Chain A
Amino acid sequence: MRRVSDITGYKRKDGKFGIRNHVLILPTVSCVNGVVHRISREVPDVVCLPHAYGCGRGGPRDLTILFRILSGLVHHPNVGGVVLIGLGCEVSNTKSLLSLIKDAGKPVEVFDVQKDGGSLKTAKKGVAAARQILSEISSQQRAAIPWDKLLVAMECGGSDAMSGVTANVAMGALSDWLIENGATVIFGENTEMIGTTHVLARRAKNTEVAKQIEEMIERAEKLTHEVMGDLASLVISPGNMDGGMSTIAEKSMGCIFKGGTTTINQVVDYGEVPSERGLILQDGPGYDGDSMAGLAASGSQLMFFSTGRGTPAGFPALPVIKVASNTRIYDAMRDDMDVNAGSLVEGQPLNGLRTEMIDLMIRVINGEKTKAEANGMDVFTLMTVHPPF
């Protein structure tokens, strides 16, 4: 059994704990990304989140998602303070966003390029504000985190035939361990749940959650057919079959196994913060970047990410632990991979690998940088449902 004092972090005013204490430089709209870049060049210790959104997508679903993700990142427990850079005429303007983050309980400084004298002057003000917040929060000390304050995300991307055999099996064993110790685990990627409705719905804590799971997977399947037409069958592709997967259910089992085997207590919408504990499903897409943003906005402090083909992607302000599914890619991308689940093939028992992952996780929670973190492999994209106009 682990002791509570094993993990430490920064206590936030809302009762949550961060495992990092970052200052975010967050643009409300893509038009001001250059200002964000200028600030990060002057103050390299900040985490900046340039993105492609903020205007030109007016549908209610897209707006809900955009505001939920941006405000979710401001509220994120790993964030100690925020410099918000707006333009002035955008849809997701700072005024609208501020109404959603007034209870953030952390320093938030706001600038608008059209009011603050243009890009250069705004960047200068942003630099000063970032330095001020960094100095203000630098005195915060780490305190013990109760395990039940930990939300861990499980993600897979750039998968190969071994992902569902080694890496996701190890992550599933870890998920079960985390939940047994009081933590909460969340995973999404609804397209990769197709074919497993019978498994996931049966594990729901009640009929209401079961119904939500059924509806979520049905929507994902319908959307796949709408978007891909005849190509929808490629969801289980000849390449998958060459890799030994015989049915869509088998392929999807390999994906969902990363969440372990416990009761599913809640289905949350994309980017929504869970109100339940234990195992949580997120109704989000399979695309890595979009999926990571949703899981981050849900408040997960840490993410495990399995990959077989090898993707270096991480997420800003969120330590992402990369788990290679095979030794070949682990060796080939040594600088990007944190764990080699391919060791299972070489005789490492699952329990041993899980212990190795728990030990690494504890070190990462306590401040050790993951490869993606140290290399700055930040990716920030988010789900949209309509094309821009």
Chain B
Amino acid sequence: MTDNILIIHSKDNVAVALRTLGVGDFATAKGIEGFPALEEIPASHKIALRNISKGEEIIKYGEIVAVSTRDIKKGEWVHTHNLESKRWKK
């Protein structure tokens, strides 16, 4: 089965959907066990690779790109509705 998510860096707690994943679709990438998407993840958007607590840093490219604003479950969509910029607050 070909990968449908891309983990850019080993430290990342989010991965990028390589195509749109529907609810219940298994997210797969080399080196990890597949897990279901809990909601629709649009192509090129982020999916949580593990449970992320409120206030925890969102790591992509091995770097902090945002901070979560609520608890995020593994398999959930990670975007502006559940994170904020550390720098430019809305």
Residues of A that sit less than 8 Å from B by CB: 161-162, 165-166, 169, 195-196, 198-199, 236, 241, 243-244, 246-250, 253-254, 257, 261, 344-347, 349
Q: What is the total number of residues of chain B having a CB less than 8 Å from a CB of chain A? A: 31
B49 CB → nearest A CB, Å? 15
Report the Cα distance A199→B59, complex, angstroms.
Answer: 12
B79 close to chain A: CB less than 8 A = yes
Some 28 contacts from A to B, beta carbons below 8 A apart, are: A161-B43, A165-B6, A169-B8, A195-B87, A198-B64, A241-B80, A244-B16, A244-B17, A244-B42, A244-B44, A244-B45, A244-B79, A246-B65, A246-B66, A246-B80, A246-B83, A247-B84, A248-B85, A248-B88, A249-B64, A249-B65, A249-B85, A249-B86, A261-B62, A344-B18, A346-B2, A347-B2, A347-B3
Q: Do A246 and B79 touch (CB < 8 A)?
A: yes
Q: How far is the CB of A283 from chain B (nearest CB, A)?
A: 21
Q: List B residues at the A interface (Cβ < 8 Å).
A: 2-3, 6, 8, 16-19, 30, 42-46, 58, 60-66, 78-80, 83-88
Report A-chain residues with C-beta under 8 Å of the C-beta of B6.
165-166, 169, 344-345
- Nearest B residue to A248 via CB reads B88
Please give, as numbers and ranges, the residues of chain A lying within 8 Å of B80 by CB-CB distance. 241, 246
* B19: A residues at CB distance < 8 A: 345
- Within 8 Å CB of B64, what residues of A? 198, 249
Please measure, in the bound complex, the distance between the C-alpha atom of A247 and the C-alpha atom of B84, giving whole angstroms.
Answer: 7
Contact B45 A253 (CB under 8 A): no
Question: Cβ of A246 and Cβ of B78 under 8 Å apart?
Answer: yes
Closest Cβ–Cβ distance, residue A186 to chain B (whole Å): 20
Q: Give the nearest-CB partner of A202 in chain B.
A: B63
Could you tell me the distance between the alpha carbons of A241 and B87 in the complex, rounded to whole angstroms? Answer: 16
Contacts of B60 in A (CB 8 A): 250, 253
Residue in B closest to A199 when the chains form the complex, CB atoms: B63
Q: A246-B79, A249-B65, A344-B6 are in contact. List 20 more A-B contacts (CB 8 A).
A: A169-B6, A169-B8, A198-B63, A199-B63, A246-B85, A247-B83, A247-B85, A247-B87, A247-B88, A249-B63, A249-B85, A250-B66, A253-B61, A253-B65, A257-B8, A257-B61, A261-B62, A344-B18, A345-B19, A347-B3
Closest to B45 in A: A244
A165:B79 contact, CB within 8 angstroms: no
Of all chain B residues, the one with the shortest Cβ separation from A242 is B42
Which DSSP category, helix, strand, loop or mixed, fits chain A's interface? Answer: loop
In whole angstroms, how far apart are the Cα atoms of A161 and B79 in the complex?
14
- Shortest C-beta distance, A269 to chain B (Å), equals 26
A261 and B63 alpha carbons, distance in the complex (Å) = 11
Given contacts A244-B46, A249-B64, is CB(A165)–CB(B85) below 8 Å? no
- Contact at B65–A250, with CB atoms within 8 Å? yes
The 8 closest A-B pairs by CB, nearest first: A347-B2, A244-B45, A250-B65, A247-B85, A161-B44, A244-B44, A345-B18, A253-B61
Q: How far is the CB of A237 from chain B (nearest CB, A)?
A: 13
Contact between A165 and B66, CB atoms less than 8 A apart: no
Chain A residues closer than 8 Å to B62, beta-carbon distance:
261
The answer to whether B45 touches A249 (Cβ under 8 A) is no
Q: Are A248 and B87 in contact (CB under 8 A)?
A: yes
Which of A161, A249, A257 has most chain B Cβ within 10 Å?
A249
B30 CB contacts on chain A under 8 angstroms: 349
Question: Quick one: closest A residue to B19, CB to CB?
Answer: A345
CB <8 Å contact, B85 and A253: no
| Chain B hits for A161, CB < 8 A | 43-44
In the complex, chain B residues whose CB is within 8 Å of the CB of A248: 85, 87-88
**Interchain nearest-CB distance for B10 vs A (Å):** 11
In whole Å, how far is B48's beta carbon from the nearest beta carbon of chain A?
13
For A161, A165, A199, A349, which residue has the most chain B Cβ atoms within 10 angstroms?
A: A165
- Interchain nearest-CB distance for B18 vs A (Å): 4
- Rounded to whole angstroms, the CA-CA distance of A213 and B8 in the bound complex is 24
Q: Are B65 and A247 in contact (CB under 8 A)?
A: yes
| A364 CB → nearest B CB, Å | 26
* Distance, CA A346 to CA B4, complexed state (A): 8
Q: Which residues of A are found within 8 Å of B45, using beta-carbon distances?
A: 244
A244-B45, A249-B66 known; A254+B85 contact, CB < 8 A? no
Residues of A within 8 A of B42 (CB): 244
Chain B residue contacts of A347, Cβ below 8 A: 2-3
